[in-house]
């Protein structure tokens, strides 16, 4: 046992399953959960296809696009994707500016 680098329990286990060939066969092993890597273009297309209301959080974006959240985090960290924090603030119209100035003059 020591010459093979195995403990006593491992040898006992192997002798116990020696008659059960299907237990040892590679076909019964579970497949690894590896998929193909997405190309950058595919990631961008999948993210852009998601409506804006579902892109508010990484979790909702991952659920809507089918890309794992950890993959999205990796793309954000390396700069492939970027966060967009847009705040649309309308510009003041000429009429609104004059009203604000008149209010300021009356207050002071």
Q: How many helices (H) and strands (E) does the chain have?
A: 6, 0
| Tens of pLDDT, residues 28-70 | 555 556 667 788 888 889 999 999 889 889 999 999 999 999 9
Residue 45 counted as domain residue: yes
Residue 108 counted as domain residue: no
Whether the model pTM is above 0.85: no
| Tens of pLDDT, residues 78-89 | 888 888 776 777
- Domain residues for the domain of 59 are 38-83
- Which comes out higher in pLDDT, residue 3 or 76? 76
Residue 12 counted as domain residue: no
Per-residue pLDDT for 21 more than 80?
A: no
Determine the Cα–Cα distance for residues 10 and 16; give it in Å rounded to an integer: 10
With H, G, I as helix, E, B as strand and everything else as coil, classify residue 36: coil
Determine the Cα–Cα distance for residues 82 and 37; give it in Å rounded to an integer: 19
Query: What is the number of domains present in the chain?
Result: 1
Residue 23 counted as domain residue: no
Residue 58 counted as domain residue: yes
Residue 104 counted as domain residue: no
Residue 22 counted as domain residue: no
Residue 88 counted as domain residue: no
């Amino acid at each position: 046992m020591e010459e093979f680098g195995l403990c006593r329990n491992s040898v006992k286990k192997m002798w116990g399953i020696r008659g059960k060939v299907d237990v040892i066969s590679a076909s019964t092993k579970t497949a690894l959960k590896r998929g193909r890597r997405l190309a950058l273009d595919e990631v961008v297309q999948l993210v852009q296809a998601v409506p804006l209301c579902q892109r508010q959080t990484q979790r909702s974006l991952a659920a809507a696009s089918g890309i794992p959240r950890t993959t999205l985090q990796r793309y954000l960290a390396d700069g492939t994707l970027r966060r967009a924090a847009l705040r649309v603030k309308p510009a003041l119209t000429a009429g609104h500016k004059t009203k604000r100035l008149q209010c300021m003059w009356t207050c002071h």
